[in-house]
Amino acid sequence: NAGVMQNPRHLVRRRGQEARLRCSPMKGHSHVYWYRQLPEEGLKFMVYLQKENIIDESGMPKERFSAEFPKEGPSILRIQQVVRGDSAAYFCASSPPSYGTGELFFGEGSRLTVL
């Protein structure tokens, strides 16, 4: 799906555990976005990162959620002390550094289930 790689595709956690979701953007892309999708709903913006910088985290819950995009390696979305309400599909998207067209290319998502 346009080269954005997400893993794991499926993750099961018990309440209170930590979830780590990884995203490798398309080759040459340096902008990464994370979105959350609840069942039967649209995608909700969480955070926008460039390498080593958080540009916009206005959609991130204030507690338990964090994101990073280090100089080397994939972007990580981390959810601490997961609760049942965190169960959702988490999608990563990337765009090129020139940002010319403004188009985002999405990965296939990571589906988190909290028991």
Q: Which of residues 6-35 bind other proteins (CB under 8 A)?
A: 31, 33, 35
Asked if residues 101 and 29 have their Cβ atoms less than 8 Å apart, the reply is no
**44: contact with other proteins by CB under 8 A:** yes
CB of 88 to other proteins, least distance (A): 14
C-alpha angle 55-108-12 in degrees, rounded to nearest 5: 95
**1: contact with other proteins by CB under 8 A:** yes
Region near other proteins per CB under 8 A, out of 15-23, 55-63, 67-75, 76-84: 55-63
**74: contact with other proteins by CB under 8 A:** no
**109: contact with other proteins by CB under 8 A:** yes
Asked if residues 55 and 48 have their Cβ atoms less than 8 Å apart, the reply is yes
Q: How far, in Å, CA of 108 to CA of 115, rounded? A: 22
Residue environment code for 60-84, b if the CB has 16+ CB neighbours within 10 A, otherwise e: beeeebebbbeeeebbbbebeebee
Q: Which residues bind other proteins (CB under 8 A)?
A: 1-2, 4, 31, 33, 35, 41-45, 48, 55-56, 58-59, 91, 93, 99, 101-109
